[in-house]
Amino acid sequence: MTTTINIPTVETPNLRLRCPRLSDFEAYAAFRSSDRAALVGGPNTRTQAFDKLCEIVGHWQLRGYGRWIVADKTTDEPLGVVGPFFPDDWPEPEIAWSVFEAAEGRGVAFEAARKALDYVYDTLGWTTAISCTTPENTRSQALAQRLGAVREDDFTTDDGLHLHVYRHAAPEARP
């Protein structure tokens, strides 16, 4: 018996959202070990970063959806992570994003997150979506608002991480 994990590749004008590869690990580990990762539960050791990268693939198998590596469409350079994400202690599925330092300020997160929203609404049939940010992650809060999301609530994960919840507009009401 063989199990196949189906992770679709989707594209935007500038980006490719694809399955993680071992060749992405150095860029991913650099992000996960940096101070930037403090806003997403880090920083992490290399071993923890590897586990987190593997978690991305496993999420697709267990939930039928998950996050992609965001790659430059021309060079295939890994630029971040984006997509639907639903940890066990989350109130509902979210659209999550993180960009690596090299992608900061280039519109990568916005372009990738919009495509992820398109995917969950058009392909998965979701009728709503949230995004969660730490209170100090003002850049992610601004991105959520730019995507049309409105702050709705707060929650705390089982391990004590306090998060703001932003609700995205329904598919028919998206900007």
Q: Which pLDDT belongs to residue 37?
A: 86
Q: Which pLDDT belongs to residue 90?
A: 93
Q: Which pLDDT belongs to residue 175?
A: 72
Closest CA to 70 of 10, 29, 144: 10
Instruction: Name residues of the chain where pLDDT drops below 50.
Output: none
Q: Which pLDDT belongs to residue 36?
A: 86
Of the CA atoms within 13 Å of residue 75, those in its CB half-sphere come to 5
Q: Which pLDDT belongs to residue 44?
A: 93
Q: What is the pLDDT of residues 153-163, one digit of tens each?
A: 999 999 899 99
Q: Which pLDDT belongs to residue 38?
A: 82
**Separation between Cα atoms, residue 89 and residue 69, nearest integer Å:** 23
**Separation between Cα atoms, residue 143 and residue 30, nearest integer Å:** 23
Q: Which pLDDT belongs to residue 147?
A: 96
**Structural domains in the chain plus CATH codes:** 10-170 (3.40.630.30)
Q: Which pLDDT belongs to residue 174?
A: 81
Q: Which pLDDT belongs to residue 154?
A: 97
Q: Which pLDDT belongs to residue 40?
A: 80
Q: Which pLDDT belongs to residue 70?
A: 98
**Residue-wise DSSP of the chain:** ---------EE-SSEEEE---GGGHHHHHHHHTSGGGGGGT----HHHHHHHHHHHHHHHHHHS---EEEEETTT--EEEEEEEE--TTSSS-EEEEEE-GGGTTTTHHHHHHHHHHHHHHHTS--S--EEEE-TT-HHHHHHHHHTT-EEEEEEE-TTS-EEEEEEPPPGGG--
